[in-house]
Structure 1
Amino acid sequence: MAKISTHKDLRVFQLAFELSMKIYKVSKSFPVEEKYSLTDQVRRSSRSVCANLAEAFRKRRYPKNFVSKLSDCEAEAAETQVWLDFALECEYVDNEFYNEIYKQYDMVLGMLVKMIVEPEKWSI
């Protein structure tokens, strides 16, 4: 197992970052009228997963704070899935993109829950 020195070494962070960038790229093609709603919201929530993971990693010496930030990550990942539901329903993304990204967010959520359930494995 590779040594984890920073949040960037976490597989869950790497996956969440990759997904956030995919969402950013696909959302460039969303209609202009969605700029201040769906486009901004899906970008914000997907990026927030990563930002909250970085914060959680730095708070891992305090298990309750660590779990709290991971819970924020979990909520943001679930919110991103809801925005993806809207993007699919509005036909801004196709089924293939949606299914791939949604499934990968399920993986992110699973990894986050595992960290939440076992915070002692991450403490300093």
Structure 2
Amino acid sequence: MGEIKSYKDLLIWQKGIKIVFLVYELVKFFPKEELYALSSQLKRASVSIPSNIAEGYGRNTEKSFSHFLNISRGSLFEIETQLLIANELGFITNQPLYREVLGQIEEESKMINSFIKTLKN
């Protein structure tokens, strides 16, 4: 895997961490009754992005890494869907932050897709 010494050196992992922080910030203002429902689900899905990148890197094979990157990408789509639902339900009060999270998700998805293609070549 070249000059990368740790999964922490991967931009996709770093962006995944950023998405976690943004999601946690966004759900702070959800209704209290959503604490153990949509809010919790969003937090878990966001944490799974960098976690699966790290786990895949640690498996030390390109095939495994690619598999875990696909799981991370699935978590991105899960978060996007849940955020769209939360927005439609009126739970999202910070629209600029909401748009930023959606933009980060789109960018991360493209980066993961490119990384997977690189592993296959």
Matched with 2:67 is 68
Which stretches of structure 1, 4 residues or longer, exceed 3 Å deviation after superposition? none
Tell me the distance in 2 between the aligned counterparts of 1:27 and 1:95.
Answer: 12
Which deviations, in whole Å up to 9, do the C-alpha atoms of 1:13-48 show, x marking residues without a partner? Answer: 111111111211221221121112100110000110
Do the aligned residues in 1 keep the contact of 2:26 with 2:97 (CA within 8 Å)?
Answer: no
Matched with 1:89 is 88
Q: How many residues align?
A: 118
Which deviations, in whole Å up to 9, do the C-alpha atoms of 1:25-76 show, x marking residues without a partner? Answer: 22122112111210011000011001001011112x3222111111101100
In the alignment, is residue 5 of structure 1 matched against residue 5 of structure 2?
Answer: yes
Matched with 1:57 is 57
* Superposition map of 1:17-56 within 5 A: 17-56=17-56
Identity %: 27
In the alignment, is residue 101 of structure 1 matched against residue 110 of structure 2?
Answer: no
Amino acid at match of 1:95: Q
Question: What is the Cα-based RMSD across aligned positions, in Å?
Answer: 1.5
Runs of at least 5 residues in structure 2 that lack an aligned partner in the other structure: none
Distance change (3 Å), C-alpha of 1:70 and 1:81: same
Tell me the distance in 1 between the aligned counterparts of 2:89 and 2:26.
Answer: 14
Amino acid at match of 2:43: R
SS of 2:35 mapped into structure 1: helix
Matched with 1:79 is 78
What TM-score does the superposition give when structure 2 sets the normalisation length? Answer: 0.88
> Which has the higher mean CA deviation after the structures are superposed, 8-17 or 93-102?
93-102
